[in-house]
Amino acid sequence: MIMDAARISKALGLSHVEFREEVTSTQDAARASQASPPYLVCALEQSAGKGRLGRRWQSDRGGLYFTLVVQRQKEDWAVPLVCAYALWKEVSSKVLSLQLKWPNDLYAEEKKLAGIVVEGWDDRLGIGVGVNVNQQGFEGSLASSAISLRMLAGAEFDLEALLIDTVSLILKAMDELAEHGFRFFQPSIRRVLLEADQPVKVIRDNRTYTGRLLDLGPSGEALVQGSEGELFTVPAQHLLEAR
């Protein structure tokens, strides 16, 4: 499927949209662009897609891969979580039993469906998104750890329409974060996160502890119960996913 950059640009109100059939990663392509934020780079395939913490995101054809570049936010730390929530809202309208896993992954049936990576480049933020959409299956180790919208819904999805809907929600979320701060999102994100009853890792006093997320406060403070029952209150940016 070839996406129409002009049509996408018009639908989203963006002055610059790049579509490429294949890139090393949309993050790399977006970072190299001289366009002014907000702008969008999307591709059908990535040869070296980026995940969090230097991990690689397998990006074969059939998935949705894009980077939306925006201006930095006052609460930069909240951008991955707020964007993941926006993505959760879009995808949960299409499949059931979708979980938002800390801090920015979507899972269904205990398998990874989508992920977000956010990088800071001077005064810009690159919000990279990968969603398994029309893949009919996965091979090797991914067979037991990855899933797609098509596998869940039994139907093929229009990638361009999904791109427009998803980016539109993320742009709206970034405007709301800039205007209202994280407090605007906290009740909804807290509800979705706590439903998952998920393990997390806490970075505290130069040590890493494993525990469970019990609460998320309006300023991003996280209440975590350690493996021995101890309670920690730490800034949300000091939490990592437990693996």
CA dihedral (188, 160, 108, 118) in degrees, to 10, reads -60
Q: Does one domain contain both 206 and 179?
A: no
**CATH code, domain with 70:** 3.30.930.10
The pLDDT, as a whole number, for residue 31 is 94
CA distances from 177 to 85, 86, 99, 113, 212 (A): 12, 12, 22, 25, 26
Range of the domain at 212: 197-241
Give the whole-angstrom CA distance, residue 153 versus residue 207. 42
Q: Kindly state whether residue 47 falls inside one of the protein's structural domains.
A: yes
The pLDDT, as a whole number, for residue 241 is 61
The pLDDT, as a whole number, for residue 53 is 44
Q: Does one domain contain both 133 and 211?
A: no
Q: Does one domain contain both 178 and 202?
A: no
Give the whole-angstrom CA distance, residue 148 versus residue 136. 7
The pLDDT, as a whole number, for residue 120 is 93
The pLDDT, as a whole number, for residue 1 is 67
Q: Does one domain contain both 219 and 132?
A: no
Q: Does one domain contain both 134 and 31?
A: yes
Q: Kindly state whether residue 205 falls inside one of the protein's structural domains.
A: yes
User: Which tokens sit at 202?
Assistant: 């806490």
**CATH code, domain with 211:** 2.30.30.140
Sign of the C-alpha dihedral computed for residues 209, 50, 171 and 124 taken in this order: positive
Q: Which residues of 67-96 are buried (b: 16+ CB within 10 A; e: fewer)?
A: bbbbeebebebbbbbbbbbbbbbbbbeebe
Q: Kindly state whether residue 190 falls inside one of the protein's structural domains.
A: no
Q: Does one domain contain both 115 and 155?
A: yes
Q: Does one domain contain both 140 and 211?
A: no
CB burial class (10 A; 0-12, 13-18, 19+) of residue 41?
Answer: buried
Give the whole-angstrom CA distance, residue 229 versus residue 236. 19
Q: Does one domain contain both 138 and 231?
A: no
Sign of the C-alpha dihedral computed for residues 241, 103, 87 and 131 taken in this order: negative
Q: Look at residue 139 and give its three-state secondary structure.
A: coil
Listed residue (221, 181, 225) closest to 201, CA to CA: 225
Our count of domains for the chain comes to 2
pLDDT along the chain (243 residues), means of 10: 89 95 91 95 79 56 94 92 93 87 87 92 94 90 89 94 96 96 94 82 76 88 85 76 53
Q: Does one domain contain both 51 and 160?
A: yes
Q: Does one domain contain both 55 and 165?
A: yes
The pLDDT, as a whole number, for residue 48 is 60
Q: Does one domain contain both 118 and 15?
A: yes
Q: Does one domain contain both 86 and 205?
A: no
